[in-house]
A and B are shown apart, each in its own frame.
Chain A
Amino acid sequence: RKEVEQDPGPFNVPEGATVAFNCTYSNSASQSFFWYRQDCRKEPKLLMSVYSSGNEDGRFTAQLNRASQYISLLIRDSKLSDSATYLCVVSSGGFKTIFGAGTRLFVKA
């Protein structure tokens, strides 16, 4: 079993749609959780951290369920510029960071 697993994608959605990505992790000792965004042929960049209480940043909402070892990302009112690969990232002790395979999102006009 992979340490971090994500929805396979790709997700093809129209502008304005709401889309949700899911991610599960296997290491119950994981401490930090993030969503990163990666554009084609570019390095990943932090989209948002994920906290147990859930957190929101504009159109983006991230949630963490430690009991189920599950992380989610919700994007509301999708924009064309949201088209990218979204990486679920889990960090254990010692700064080791594990990436999910990524979910590709295509937002079309």
Chain B
Amino acid sequence: GAVVSQHPSWVICKSGTSVKIECRSLDFQATTMFWYRQFPKQSLMLMATSNEGSKATYEQGVEKDKFLINHASLTLSTLTVTSAHPEDSSFYICSAREGREAFFGQGTRLTVV
């Protein structure tokens, strides 16, 4: 099946710094990718929809200036958490669809200290 690769799988950063997470579709082209955030014991929450060559669409309550999304090619979307704070610590996961099925990256566990 299709493969989505996400990098890094975990990162620890200092408060106030920025962190970039990459999401790549390895064997298919994805004009649309999705970014989710999951807090412990909670559901995956859609943050934004990343569209190749255009601006991302953010869900209500998600700050677009804090979570910068770039989808410059058909196989790569990046999420940058700017000026990270401890409350941004979470599991971030990307997804891309091929046909009806959604494939997920391995997720990135972000810890802000």
Contact = CB atoms under 8 A, between A and B. Distances in A.
Interface of A: 32, 34, 36, 41-46, 49, 87, 89, 91, 94-102
A100 B109 CA distance: 21
Nearest to B33: A95
Interface string B27-70: 00000101010000011111001000000000000000000000
Q: What is the predominant secondary structure among interface residues of chain A facing chain B?
A: strand
Contacts of A101: 42-43
A95 B44 contact: no
Given A95-B32, A95-B97, A97-B34, A87 B44 contact: yes
Given A34-B102, A87-B43, A96-B46, 17 more contacts: A34-B101, A41-B91, A42-B106, A42-B107, A44-B93, A44-B104, A49-B101, A87-B44, A89-B102, A95-B97, A96-B49, A97-B34, A97-B95, A97-B97, A99-B36, A99-B43, A99-B46
Contact of B104 (A32, A41, A43, A49): A43
Nearest to B42: A101
Q: Could you tell me the dominant secondary structure of chain B's interface residues?
A: strand
A96 B32 CA distance: 9
A91 B102 CA distance: 10
B107 to A, nearest CB: 5
B43 A100 contact: yes
Interface in B66-113: 91, 93, 95, 97, 100-102, 104-107, 109
A87 B105 CA distance: 16
10 contacts: A41-B109, A43-B107, A44-B93, A44-B104, A89-B102, A91-B100, A95-B32, A96-B46, A97-B95, A101-B42
